[in-house]
Each structure stands twice: as C-alpha cells, then as structure tokens.
Amino acid sequence: MAIQRTFSIIKPDATKRNLTGAINAKIEAAGLRIIAQKRIHMTKAQAETFYGVHRERPFFGELCEFMVSEPVVVQVLEGENAIAKYRDVMGATDPAEAADGTIRKDFALSKGENSVHGSDAPETAAEEIAYFFSGLELVG
Ligand code: DAT
Ligand code: MG
C-alpha cells in the first residue's frame, strides 16, 4: 500500500471539550503525520456543501447546525494506507459500536456528535482536502 493523504475534521463537540491534543495523540500514535492543520469556524454554506452527499438524509439539518456550532480543526493526514488507517483510528460512526481505544469510543457523545470526520475513499479525500486547503498549505 502506498503513502496516502486523508482529510480529517476535529468536530465541535471535541474542540469544545479541549480534546484536540488528545485526538492528535491518537492520530500520531497510529503513525499518521499531520501535514496541515488549521482551526476554522465553518459557515453554514461550507457545512452544507461539505456534507452535500447527505442532503436527503433526515439528520442533514441537525448535522450542519452541529458543524457550525463551534470552531473545528481541519487537518490533512499522511501515511501508509492513511484513508483506511484513519477510519480504524476513528472507530464506527456510532460510538456505541466503536472498538476499544478508538477516538469515537473514547470521546464521541453520540452518533451525531462523534468527534471526528475522516475521508472514506481516495476520490473523496482529494476533493475534501482541496475544499479546505491550498497545495501550499500541505507540508509533507
Ligand atoms: P462517518 O462520519 O462515519 O463517515 P457518515 O458519512 O455515514 O459517517 O455520516 C456523516 C455524519 O453524519 C456522521 O459522522 C454523523 C452524522 N450521522 C450519520 N448518521 C446519523 C444518524 N443516524 N443520526 C444522526 N447523525 C448521523
Ligand atoms: Mg462519511
């Protein structure tokens, strides 16, 4: 497996509880390198575009409200098999189903307020990275 890049968000429930460092510690312990990181307060339009694939789902409105409720930390992670590896570090969407030691098991509050986002495929990773970062901001 080659070196990949994936896109991550430390979500409002986690930034609000000062968990950025604890989440980054799990990311780095897994061998993923944080090659770009910034704290932003997403606009409603950005949240709706970012989660556009879920537009028809019943939780879409609630999800977008949540994403703009507090600042978030957006990141680019690099490493061997980074996309799947970060999904493993994150754990299942629903913290009740997440494996021990994962970010969501340890920190998530609910299926909606679940502390982190991670890209699910190479195409979405590339799109999501480009949506929030310029090439110059990625320092690998
Ligand atoms: P993931 O974040 O694990 O990739 P997803 O892409 O299916 O999960 O959904 C995106 C986000 O939407 C998820 O992190 C939290 C929210 N969400 C998903 N399913 C939900 C549900 N049944 N109720 C409330 N929020 C939900
Ligand atoms: Mg997803």
Binding residues: 11, 59, 87, 93, 104, 114
Residue pair 125/87 in contact (Cβ under 8 Å)? The answer is no
Residue nearest to atom 17 of ligand 1 (CA): 112
- pLDDT tens column, 19-76: 999 999 999 999 999 999 999 999 999 999 999 999 999 999 999 999 999 999 999 9
> Which residues are part of the catalytic machinery?
117
CA 35 to CA 77: how far, in whole Å?
A: 6
Q: Which of 63, 86, 94, 102 to mutate to test the pocket of ligand 1 (most atoms within 8 A of CB)?
A: 63
- Please tell me the distance between residue 102's alpha carbon and the centre of ligand 1 in angstroms: 16
Ligand 1, closest atom to CA 53?
6
> What secondary structure letter does DSSP report for 136?
G
Question: Closest ligand 1 atom to the C-alpha of 92?
Answer: 3
Mean pLDDT of 104-121: 98
Is this complex's ipTM strictly greater than 0.85? yes
In this prediction, residue 140 carries a pLDDT of: 94
Three-point CA angle 113, 109, 103, nearest 5°: 90
Is the pLDDT at 79 greater than 80? The verdict is yes
Nearest CA owner, ligand 1 atom 16 = 112
Radius of gyration of the chain from its Cα atoms, rounded to whole angstroms: 14
Q: Which of 62, 93, 110, 119 to mutate to test the pocket of ligand 1 (most atoms within 8 A of CB)?
A: 93
CATH number of the domain located at residue range(s) 3-42+72-137 in this protein: 3.30.70.141
Q: Does residue 134 have a pLDDT over 90?
A: yes
